[in-house]
Structure 1
Amino acid sequence: MKDMPEKKLSAIEPFTDILIVDDTPANLLLLVKMLTDRGCKPRSFLSGELALQAARAEPPDLILLDVNMPEMSGYEVCEQLKADERLKNIPVIFISAMSETIDKIKAFAAGGVDYVTKPFQLEEVEARVRTHLELRRLQIQLEKQNRQLKDNYDHLGKLEELQDRLTHMLVHDMSLPLNGITGYLEKLEMDPGKKLTGDQLETLRNARANGLVLLGMINSLLDLPVVCNRGRCRVNK
């Protein structure tokens, strides 16, 4: 391991839960100390199986994962993580002595987000951890905003449906008595038994005509979508 100059430590984010998986105790101790000094809450495991059990019991924020381990390789561990609905979005950073391109390709194919070669520098590990924690935080924030947008859209749909029902009820409640009034006026106009003067007959005709115009305006509300925003409504023609 390369000796690094002393550097002032800065917290990543208090109590960030990071799972470290490596079958070499010295590597675990080094990474645990570095992350603890930076305010994290690291959990270390010597085998992939134990790490999987711990992740399923309490999903971490990020995982540092060795590749070459007995019984279960880091690739297999990562594939199982990505197959689990609760764990698939946890960032996995591989840390391995294998530096060939094919090894890195396998790591990314298994679902890793980054790859650090051994012997590693603590500053590099810290920088990559910070980067992927921030990316994960932004991803969670975006998912939350998308859910909120969907909820708002669904709520808007329900409001529009309610508005449509209320419009139909209003049109029905207004047109029903108006139909009765215009019908009665027509009956008066056509009744030969009623002795009406010319002015009275003209008044009846005007009243009935105006009633029919008003009835048409009321019924046309069903064909005009109303858009409301912050208590103000406009009709889209």
Structure 2
Amino acid sequence: MESTIEENTLINKLIYSHKVNILVVDDCPNNLRVLSSILTQNGYIVRKALDGEIAISACQKILPDLILLDIMMPNMDGYQLCQYFKQNEKTRHIPIIFISALDDVLDKVKAFNSGGADYISKPFEVKEVLARVTNQLTIRQLYNALTEQNIQLQKLNEELRIANAELEQFAYIASHDLKSPLQSIIGYTQLISCKYEKDFAPDHKRYLEHIVNAAWRMKRLIDDLLDYSKLGKETQELELTDCQNVLEEALDNLREEINSSGATITHSPLPKLMGDRTQLISLFQNLISNGIKFRRPQVIPEIKILAQLKNSSEWLFGVQDNGIGIEPQYFERIFEIFQRLHSYREYPGNGIGMTICKKIVERHGGSIWVESQVNKGTTFYFTIPSQ
């Protein structure tokens, strides 16, 4: 069903909270009068210009919401005037509807190439003019709303970035400052235990052991927080790194865990790639340590490290274990900070290790995910660009 003039007017009132300002540019006074009358009757504010210079001057005083532009005009034709407006920062976003007696396809193509948003052929129908005007104004309104939302989103993102940076800085400072008194607690408690052990009742010794264990647990948490907060600070530039050497250093750091658990570690040939050596060591160390820690009772941990080049653009790594596995509903949760699936007594840890892994991989431009079967094992996959 065709919309009436009254319906178009109602639409505009609903869309716009202010009077819409339209500039009509035509060297024919009669055309100006007719278009001005139609648009004014439908609630628009109309300004008129007989040539390009007057139109430019009018836009310098008040920016219109829309321009209706004739093509055949003296001195500066419609194509030239449209190009001028589109090259000007203040007027480039104003929609321009060409309204002309030229009805050839090439004329219309030239109008659109010069920056026109729409084209109306003369003689025109009133309903068509109003419909196309309403359409362009609606698009402009939606564009303005989207632009404003993007500005607000950028502002919120910047505020969030600053807040995260401040939080990471706080975590770093707080954790760093806690290490010294905590080390004193551990040291003096152990000193008391050694010096006065013979004088202790059984309960006293047990209490001291609880203090030491709690202090060591807190120290591990602080160390993990420091590692996490360092990832938010400026890091070294990526450089060519041999993942074979990275793995060997990670295994050296885990030598005690590997020996005490009897774990076997195997790996395929590992590549050289652009990376942060220190962070990659931490990545492999965390993933291998998880495979050892979350082992099944009476089952010796078996961990395989795999690497495969994909599409010549990135390396796919896998760290596979034969441990207790993870239920599918927890696949995403394990990458969130402080999220634990088991009690500390069952499997000690602070719920930060996998968050660190995710941050390291993303810092290298890759992604990380998990596949797992309960009581069969887990494989953590991650990608890193090959160059």
Query: Which TM-score applies when normalising by structure 1?
Result: 0.84
Identity %: 35
| Deviation of 1:176 (Å) | 2.2
1:80 maps to what in 2? 84
Which deviates more, 208-217 or 91-100? 208-217
Q: Is contact 2:98–2:120 with CA below 8 Å preserved after alignment?
A: yes
Q: Tell me if the contact between 2:5 and 2:130 (Cα under 8 Å) persists in the aligned partners.
A: no
Deviation at 1:205, TM superposition (A): 6.2
Structure 1: 5+ residue runs without aligned partners? 1-6, 226-232
Please state how far the C-alpha of 1:119 moved relative to its aligned partner: 0.9
Partners of 1:209 and 1:235 in 2: CA distance: 20
| Residue 235 of structure 1 pairs with residue 338 of structure 2 | yes
Unaligned runs of 5+ in 2: 230-335, 340-350, 352-387
Match of 2:226 in 1: 222
Superposed CA deviations along residues 54-92 of structure 1, whole A, max 9, x for unmatched, are 112211000000000001000000000000111101000
One of 36, 39, 57 as aligned partner of 2:40 = 36
| Cα shift at 1:98 | 0.5
Counterpart in the other structure of 1:172: 176
Q: Which residue of 1 aligns with 2:131?
A: 127
Higher helix share: 1
Between the two proteins, the alignment pairs up a number of residues equal to 222
The letter of the residue matching 2:173 is M
| Structure number with higher relative contact order (C-alpha < 8 Å, ≥ 6 residues apart) | 1
| Range with bigger deviation, 199-208 or 159-168 | 199-208
* Alignment match, 2:93: 89
Paired residue type of 2:138: E
Counterpart position of 2:102: 98
Q: 1:56–1:87: 8 Å Cα contact kept in structure 2?
A: no
Partner of 1:144: 148
The worse-fitting range, judged by mean Cα deviation, of 168-177 and 67-76 is 168-177
Indicate the RMSD between aligned Cα atoms, in angstroms: 2.4
Please report how far the alpha carbon of residue 208 of structure 1 lies from its aligned counterpart in structure 2 after TM superposition. 3.3
Contact 1:23 1:69 in 2 (8 A): yes
- How far off is 1:198 after superposition? 6.2
**Secondary structure of 1:235's partner?**
coil
Q: Deviation at 1:209? A: 4.2
- The normalised TM-score by structure 2 is 0.53
CA deviation map 1:125-166 (0-9, x unaligned): 111000000011011111111111111111111111111112
**Range with greater deviation from structure 2 (176-185 or 216-225):** 216-225
Structure 1 residue corresponding to 2:199, chosen from 197, 200, 218:
197
Give the drift of 1:122: 1.4
Work out the CA distance in 1 between the residues paired with 2:139 and 2:197.
88
Kindly state the Cα deviation for residue 120 of structure 1 after the two structures are TM-superposed.
1.0
The one-character-per-residue Cα deviations of 1:85-110 (angstroms, maximum 9, x if unpaired) are 11101000001111000100110000
CA contact (8 A) 1:189 1:204 kept: no
